[in-house]
Amino acid sequence: MDFITERNMIYVCSDEKIVAEVTFPNIDDTTVDINHTFVDPSLRGQGIAQKLLILAYETIKQQGYKAVATCPYAVKFFNENKVYQDILK
């Protein structure tokens, strides 16, 4: 599975359609909002959403940003995986 990383999103395409994504737009000069996670029903249960969040974490940290999580899945992910909480504002 090929994850495509752009400035404020990471996604997977299949047949030119996004089938999994996490978005994290800037809310100011130093902070992004992890506001949306989606995995197509046909791909659920394979750990793809968690992989998206880990990749988002790595990207956000590498860019030197802090994050807030408003996506319910992202909130759950950070609550259950404290090792990734160092980017949270």
Q: Which domains does the chain have, with CATH numbers?
A: 4-87 (3.40.630.30)
> d(Cα 65, Cα 83) in Å, to the nearest integer?
16
Specify the pTM. 0.95
Give, for 74, the enclosing helix (H) or strand (E). Answer: helix 72-80
Q: What is the pLDDT of residue 13?
A: 97
Q: What is the pLDDT of residue 1?
A: 86
CA 53 vs CA 13, 15, 18, 42: distances in Å: 17, 23, 16, 19
> d(Cα 57, Cα 54) in Å, to the nearest integer?
5
Could you list the pLDDT tens digit for every one of the 89 residues in the chain?
Answer: 899 999 899 999 999 999 999 999 999 999 999 999 999 999 999 999 999 999 999 999 999 999 999 999 999 999 999 999 999 99
Side chain identity at 50, as an amino acid letter?
Answer: Q
